[in-house]
Structure 1
Amino acid sequence: MGEERDAFLEWTRTRLREAEIALHNGDAGPRYAIWSRREPVSVMGAWKSVVGYEDVSALFHKLAETFSDCTSYEHEIVAVDVVGDAAYTVGYERTQASVDGEPRRYVLRATQVYRREDGEWKVAHRHADTLETDQT
């Protein structure tokens, strides 16, 4: 189990992190690549909630249009587990990027559910909300 968990955490530190930075720089492509296309998929987001791949895909496109100039993104994972082909993370995402052209700094509490599909991790669900102050 330790090796599975370590390999999953390495994936979060590389592919997941790279996808989030790309999204915050206006490119949704890497995020599309790590998300499942197999239903159910869902986002209960800080700004909008959607269910179903078609709506999730549209949301990512809209978010990419909103974000630019990411200067910092850190994902502090405070809880993680891997059980077979399923995993989850709970943590804080600290981001500095422009939103609609205005520089912003914010912290999200984020929980994600992942499933392994054809040997690769894919995100199947995301729930995030904005902290009004850095309570971490």
Structure 2
Amino acid sequence: MTDREDFLIWLQRDFVRAERAMFDGDAGPRRAIWAEDEPVTVLGAWRNVSNHAELVEAFDELSTSFSNCADYEFDLISFEVLGTMAYTVGYERIAASIDGEPRSFTLRATQVYRRGDDGWRVVHRHADRVG
């Protein structure tokens, strides 16, 4: 298996499962796929963070807004794996409740990943709403 194939398997299995859980109100799986060592950053559709402590707080706070994830799809536009680093660019199409109100929205998301002894971990995310 190539590094690209290995990364795609992780992305489609672990990353998608973690994001679906987040939009269902559970931040735990998303926190688990993020690197614990610095640097980690988020330039988000709702909040920006620049260290791991802020990341945990932001994910926990954000997850309380979401529930009833009816659909999550990651439309991968581009990706590359270069040694222990990777990136993805794509659209996240989400149907979930926000503060109890069913909503559908799309995020443009660019992410950077680092591979360590424990596998792939997200280290940077930039996302914004489309439209």
Percent identity reads 50
SS at match of 1:107: strand
Matched, 1:20 2:22: no
Q: CA deviation at 1:119?
A: 4.1
Q: CA deviation at 1:60?
A: 0.4
Corresponding residue for residue 40 of structure 2: 41
**1:80-123 superposed Cα distances (whole Å, 9 cap, x missing partner):** 00000000000000000001111110000000000011140000
RMSD: 0.9
CA distance in 2, matches of 1:7, 1:120: 10
SS at match of 1:58: helix
Q: CA deviation at 1:3?
A: 1.2
SS at match of 1:16: helix
> Which ranges of structure 1 fall in alignment gaps of 5 or more residues?
none
- Which amino acid is the alignment partner of residue 41 of structure 2? S
Work out the number of aligned pairs and report it.
131
Instruction: Give the TM-score, by structure 1 length.
Output: 0.94
CA distance in 1, matches of 2:25, 2:116: 26
CA distance in 1, matches of 2:56, 2:77: 27
1:4-83 correspondence to structure 2 within 5 Å: 4-83=3-82
> Which ranges of structure 2 fall in alignment gaps of 5 or more residues?
none
SS at match of 2:64: helix
Corresponding residue for residue 126 of structure 2: 127
